Amino acid sequence: MKRLNSQLQHDGAPLELVLLIRTLLAACKEISFRVSQGALAGVLGSTLSENVQGETQKKLDVISNQILKDILSESGYVKAISSEEEESVVPCSPNGNYLVSFDPLDGSSNTEINSLIGTIFSIAHAPQWMEADDPSAFLQPGTQMVAAGYVLYGPSTMLAMTTGRGTHLYTLDKTHGGFLLTHPNVKIPVQTSEFSINTSNQRHWQEPIQSYVSELLAGSEGPREKDYNMRWVAAMVGDVHRVLCRGGIFMYPFDKRNPQMPGKLRLLYEANPMAFLVEQAGGLASTGSGRIMDVMPEEIHQRVPVIIGSKEEVENCVARFK
Ligand code: AHG
Ligand code: MN
Ligand code: MN
Ligand code: MN
């Protein structure tokens, strides 16, 4: 089986980017180990602190963030990082050529129940003019990403990654510690009969999502003339992984409860990297009013509505916003 390195070379990734990705994955392997120790290592449960998003941080949110931050800032490749768990941009190496944004632990409410969690990341070039502590360099649209992916800490530890030449899935071979290419060039089926949305928020959705989901629920008796199945992992990383493996549509729409907050998921380190992976696998990624990767960020923790997955299903949903 092909190793990660040779696939990256095959896809034309420059050497420094390959070295950065390997460094980042070294951090993820350590997170994978810590996560697997669970209660034995006392890493489960909450801390007493809140992050900038107003969420109570889990111990594993803090530990994963620290591991990534330490390894990336010592690597020399990274000028600055932005993270879900850091209020501001963290300056790293003044001569670093890359910016990394990450969600150190996605789905952290799943840590308590030994269920799916992961790390999501995106990488862009650091502009030459940029001072390492300047957040404005992170405010580039997703189209500027040079690589993005996630590591899923599931029954196997898997990596999904793209450098713009297709989306590939790798599996961590714990016997030698390397990621092996197990699913090259994944393609999301254009049609699907599986959807993913937290229906407990239904009363807060806008009309387009109301009408779309009610048609899916009507099944073969409704206008779609087929039955749909529903899945919700409560970790975007798990839900998007399923979409990459067998298709589907995943939504976290705008929520009328909080008009200041256009959706729950964060653009830089959740929506954009997943959009890049899904588009490279032949799917679509929309906010309802446009392509996720075209959104010009206004701040590093900006949130966006997310509608991603199988092409024809995303098109059907998004058409209702016009
Ligand atoms: P995080 O754990 O990084 O804060 O992200 C959680 C996000 C996302 O992974 C998931 O899709 C969503 O929150 C789940 O939200 P619900 O609480 O509505 O299930
Ligand atoms: Mn969180
Ligand atoms: Mn997350
Ligand atoms: Mn998180």
For 177-201, what is the mean pLDDT? 97
Q: Where are the domains of the chain?
A: 4-183, 194-321
In this structure, the residue with its CA closest to atom 18 of ligand 1 is: 198
Cβ proximity of 273 and 149 under 8 Å: yes
ipTM computed for the complex: 0.97
- Per CATH, the homologous superfamily of domain 4-183 is Fructose-1,6-Bisphosphatase, subunit A, domain 1 (3.30.540.10)
Give pTM, 2 decimals.
Answer: 0.98
Instruction: State the pLDDT at residue 258.
Output: 84
DSSP secondary structure code for residue 242 in this structure: H
Residue 42: pLDDT band (50, 70, 90) is: confident
In the predicted structure, residue 231 carries a pLDDT above the cut 90: yes
Determine the atom of ligand 1 nearest the C-alpha atom of 110.
Answer: 2
Residue nearest (by alpha carbon) to ligand 1 atom 2: 107
At 99-154, the pLDDT tens digits run 999 999 999 999 999 999 999 999 999 998 888 888 999 999 999 999 999 999 99
- For a mutational test of ligand 1's pocket, the pick from 47, 106, 151, 257, i.e. the residue with the most ligand atoms closer than 8 A to its C-beta, is 106
Output the CATH code of domain 194-321.
Answer: 3.40.190.80
Rounded distance, CA 170 to CA 5, Å? 11
Mean pLDDT score, 41-50: 92
For 76-103, letters b (16+ CB in 10 Å) and e give: ebbbbbbbbbbeebbbbbeebbbbbbbb
Mean pLDDT computed over 213-235:
98
pLDDT score recorded for residue 122: 98
Q: What is the pLDDT of residue 131?
A: 87
How far does the centroid of ligand 3 lie from the alpha carbon of residue 117, in Å? Answer: 9
- Residue 178: Cβ within 10 Å count: 17
C-alpha 216/C-alpha 203 separation (Å) is: 16
Q: How far is the CA of 218 from the centre of ligand 3 (A)?
A: 31
Q: Give the integer Cα–Cα distance in Å for 125 and 17.
A: 10
Residue 305 CA to residue 287 CA, distance in Å, equals: 5
Domains 4-183 and 194-321 fall in the same CATH topology: no
Alpha helices in 176-226 (DSSP H): 207-218
pLDDT for residue 215: 98
Closest by CA to 245, choosing from 154, 312, 309, 157, is 309
* Ion ligand 4: residue ranges with CB closer than 5 A: 84, 103, 105-106
Q: Kindly report, residue by residue over 14-40, the tens digit of the pLDDT.
A: 999 999 999 999 999 999 999 999 989
